Structure 1
Amino acid sequence: CKTWRSNPLRSFMLFLLKVKNSTGNKPVAPLGSRILTNPNDIYKHNMWDHVQWTEEDTEFARLKTEENSSERVPLNEQVIFDRDADKMWEKFYEMHHNKFFKNRKWLFAEFPELLPLGQSRTTQPTSRLSLEKHQDNIQPASYPGEYATFRILEVGCGVGNSVFPILKTIKGTDAFVYCCDFSLKAIELVKAHPDYDTSMCHSFVHDICEEAAPFPFPLRSVDAILAVFVLSSIHPERMQGVVNRLSTYLKHGGIFLFRDYGRYDLSQLRFKKGRCLSENFYSRGDGTCVYYFTKEEVHNLFTNAGLEEIQNLEDRRLQVNRGKKVVMRRVWVQSKFRKT
């Protein structure tokens, strides 16, 4: 593969030895079970899971990152990407509408916590009287979804690629979804979707970096918060404050679900010189920004907000272009943290 100097198949052979010498035949981690056992099969599928890297692979990625970070965006220009982030994303959705991302059908396989426990799709709505027993920490003021027994908040919802699979899955339960984005265009597209249902969902424009911006529901009223490829678009200096504030809306026992770009993902290595804003933080050609996490950084980010780690994994895969016979290494971080 031209993308990597080392032979990617060598990594698979080393991985197979580790698997054979461990208990069981599959990795403990979730995130897929398609393991390449025969190097000759590499072009039979578009994606292979649980890829192990050699030291040579890691060193090559480190050097590529060091190279593309050596020339940075001038400090006097960097303020534009933070100040005008909403405008950049507004242009993004104006251009792409709902054609850029696909619906995340994998959500419930990786995040089953999004499904209300003990509820079926035929569950009848619960009365306000019985709800009071479950919501003694919630103020009685009226708000969207106040009668729901299970509430989900998705931040940075975009055009609803997570929202609509969730709505389809929880239909008939007494669950409710809040979704927000700071792009007005994105929220307009969500509301215009034929599956948008105000009895199950409330979408609104919101900047999660704005400290004084309130949410349309009380503190400690949400069972699950979902952030998929959202925090990476925020300046690293703002991330901790964002996670701290969002965590205050979780109920005790509520869970924060996170998935985002991992360090040395192929997309990080492809940046040219002059696009780096700060360490592992880049501006794309369209003005949107992206940060690449390590799982240690993710751990610190959420535990510093008072949450307990439940899962924190590096999702390393081989993405294959079978037509061009190109192999690409992808890295994501997937995590779950609970409010105790």
Structure 2
Amino acid sequence: MAEAEESDPAAAAAAAAGSSPRSPRQCTGSSERPLSEEEREKLRSDRVLVSDFKQQKFELEAQKNWDLFYKRNSTNFFKDRRWTTREFDELKACREFEAQKLVMLEAGCGVGNCIFPLLEEDLNIFIYACDFSPRAVEFVKQNPLYCPERCQAFQCDLTKDDLRATVPEASLDVATLIFVLSAIHPDKMQQALENIYKVLKPGGIVLFRDYGLYDHAMLRFKSGSKLGENFYVRQDGTRSFFFSKEYLASLFHQGGFQTLVNEYVLRETVNKKEGLCVPRVFLQSKFCKCE
């Protein structure tokens, strides 16, 4: 169920045309992205929700829709996430001594775009990797870099399957939720966090990155795509939620976590030739299990 910032078609189009995010155009902070009056009017006028019948259908077919996504795209859709150790120094710095093995969970691992760069870079790491889609898990296991001594991939619905069936209770140093929670129905997000809480050590950390409120992808949804407040469905039946920092902090606090960092990442993908400016908004956060 791994989602990625590259998945927004407009951003992908801008990148394909030769543009790229530039560091002077990226910033972090506590404030939401300011909207134009046109953007505000679009959000105000989009009040029609998808029918209850269709919403139930999307929920019942969520796993099938993600499996079909990976059938269509194989391992080619998302780029390898080689930025994780740069953005999250806890992947290196949370060990007491250099040779200490880091034990982590990649929740929503997709086809392994995060785990395999980490396994290549760090020899003292063991990664549990789970995904909602059985097809995605099979792609992970078929990767030449997959090694059962260093990684264990398994299918899991974070909202109902007990992680402790595979991951020992209170055994993890780190869990990552990178473009994953947004794909879960808001009513079930709390269950997913409580599930992860049980397998983290006291002092263990959740590293989070996902869609932020007023991201370009949110504003591109057409009328008839809205499931609820800040919650939308794509044409392929997969869904996406867009987080405010207040909403995200509340979710984690209810799950027993303490906030360490919780910031918006504001970024622009610019293509001068095509006259495109794609504003991206993500939330990048760190939460600690403190008991």
Tell me the TM-score normalised to structure 2 length.
0.86
Amino acid across the alignment from 1:117: R
Distance 1:335 1:114 in 2: 14
Residue 168 of structure 1 corresponds to which residue in structure 2?
A: 120
Q: Secondary structure at the match of 1:202?
A: strand
Post-superposition Cα deviations, 1:8-29, rounded to whole Å, max 9, x if no partner, equal: xxxxxxxxxxxxxxxxxxxxxx
Counterpart selection for 1:65 from 43, 46, 60: 43
Residue number among 321, 324, 336 corresponding to 2:271 in the alignment:
321
CA distance in 2, matches of 1:199, 1:86: 28
Residue 310 of structure 1: which of 260, 267, 280 is its match?
A: 260
Instruction: Please list the CA deviations of residues 256-296 of structure 1 after superposition, one character each: whole Å capped at 9, or x if unmatched.
Output: 11110001100000000001111111110010000000001
Residue equivalent to 1:297: 247
The TM-score normalised by the length of structure 1 is: 0.74
Change (3 A) 1:319 1:70: same
Question: 1:80 matched to which residue of 2?
Answer: 57
Q: Is 2:109 aligned against 1:150?
A: no
1:58: how far off?
A: 5.5
Assess if the C-alpha contact under 8 Å between 2:131 and 2:156 holds in 1.
Answer: yes
Residue 181 of structure 1 pairs with residue 131 of structure 2 = yes
Letter in 2 for 1:66: R
In structure 2, runs of 5+ residues without a counterpart are 1-17
Q: 2:265·2:283 contact (CA, 8 Å) conserved in 1? A: yes
- Secondary structure in 1 aligned to 2:176? strand
* Structure 1 pair 322–189 and aligned structure 2 pair: CA distance change class (3 A): farther
Q: 1:92 aligns with which of 56, 69, 82?
A: 69
Is the 1:45–1:322 Cα contact (8 Å) retained in structure 2?
no
Residue 194 of structure 1, CA deviation: 1.4
Query: What is the aligned residue count?
Result: 269
Aligned to 1:137: none
Note if contact 1:306-1:339 (Cα within 8 Å) is conserved in structure 2.
Answer: yes
Contact 1:160-1:190 at 8 Å conserved across structures = yes
Aligned sequence identity (%): 38
Residue 155 of structure 1: CA displacement? Answer: 0.6
Residues 1:46 and 2:46 aligned together: no
Unaligned stretches of 5+ in structure 1?
1-42, 127-148
Q: Which has the higher contact order (CA 8 A, sep 6+)?
A: 2
Larger Rg: 1
C-alpha distance in 1, partners of 2:222/2:74?
Answer: 27
Distance in 1 between residues matched to 2:277 and 2:271, nearest whole Å:
6
Three-state SS of the structure 2 residue aligned to 1:102 is: coil
Task: Rate the CA distance shift 1:315–1:60 in 2: closer, same or farther, 3 A.
Answer: farther
Q: Of Structure 1 and Structure 2, which has the larger fraction of its residues in strand?
A: 2
**Which of 232, 242, 250 is matched with 2:192 structurally?**
242
2-side partners of 1:109 and 1:212: how far apart?
31
* Residues 109-132 of structure 1 deviation map (CA, whole Å, 9 limit, x = unaligned): 111111252554xx4xx8xxxxxx
